[in-house]
Amino acid sequence: MKKILKSKIFLFAVALILFIYFNNSSLFTEQRSDRPFLLAHRGLAQTFPMEGITDETCTAERIYSPEHPYLENTIPAIKAAFDAGADMVELDIHPTKDNQFVVFHDWTLDCRTNGRGVTRDHTLAELKKLDIGYGYTADNGKTYPFRGKGVGLMPSLTEVLNAFPDRSLLIHVKSDDPQEGKLLAAFLSKLSQERRSQLAIYGGDEPIDVLKAKLPDLRVMSKTTIKRCLIPYMAIGWTGYMPEACENTQLHIPEKIAPWLWGWPAKFQNRMDQANTRIIVVGGDGSGFSSGFDSPEDIKRLPDDYRGGIWTNRVDKIAPLYEKEKN
């Protein structure tokens, strides 16, 4: 009897291993012919070395020598990113003193502009008078190549939406204030459902929770929504089960975590497609979501059959790689 029992246990274990393998292997998944989905971080922006960056670092003071004339989070930079091949552009927003939304990255004005103080303590009219290219330097302050060229370039969210009425945008809420979630929900509720379907919003847990409660059709993301999806998926996703938290959302997945996900890459992407969820791979281990795939060498780190989303700070360098594949 013991031998029979051991034999049954052994056969069950073998069957379970085979099931897990075949149910999650991308080898048996039809290969996709589409190119990856390219998400341009802040449009086409000036880049800088990521080493040693903290929340207090003024990145405008450490840019690489400029290779293009665009400044992040501006309408020209967003247009340049789409023209270069971006499928979606990420932008940052802050509420203004007069309850509008301005597109700008920093919590304060001191780093990039000739203004001072907290961004949201100013009216939109005040912010639009600033020179947003004022603080950029690639040589420790010897020269400022964009000084005087950024006056009036800080756009409102309304202006961006009007400039790109049918393009996909990822909007970054830069606070954890639930009141900002309410203000943004009121703003977005005036858009058509079709237009909202082209947008995704991410940011702090509290404003994102408010947004999702008020606009259930909206695709939203925060660190908590990612955990709600991926933790149960990593636990039981081998069965093919899709947690409800993985539906109709967006997942930013660090490249070092991605290989541990059941079905990575092709089967995982197909499962998320069926759940109406967009996946975006970001560089590194998840400690910061600004690290992207910005060169041909970076792209080589991704699986050859990966056709999901890619976070990039240099869509002008990445998009042509996939155009060559197509040709």
Query: Catalytic residue positions?
Result: 41, 105
Question: Which residues contact residue 264 at a Cβ distance below 8 angstroms, ignoring those fewer than 6 apart?
Answer: 26, 258, 303
Cis peptide before 265 (omega within 30 of 0): yes
Question: Do 100 and 87 contact (CB within 8 A), yes or no?
Answer: no
- Sign for the CA dihedral angle at 176, 43, 225, 186 comes to positive
Q: What are phi and psi of 147, to 5 degrees?
A: -65, 130
The residues facing 101 across adjacent strands are: 95
Token pair, residue 314, equals 């240099």
Measuring CA to CA, how many Å separate 41 from each of 164, 293, 313? Answer: 16, 10, 5
Conformational region of residue 270, where left means phi above 0, alpha means psi within -120 to 50, and beta covers everything else: alpha
Question: Do 40 and 81 contact (CB within 8 A), yes or no?
Answer: yes
CA 291 to chain centre: 10
Nearest CA to 105 out of 190, 189, 203 is that of: 203
Question: Do 173 and 164 contact (CB within 8 A), yes or no?
Answer: no
Q: What is the DSSP letter of 108?
A: B
Report the DSSP pairing between strands 101-103 and 88-95: antiparallel
E strands, the chain, in order: 37-41, 88-95, 101-103, 168-173, 199-202, 219-221, 250-254, 278-282, 309-312
Grouping H, G, I as helix, E, B as strand and the rest as coil, residue 150 is coil
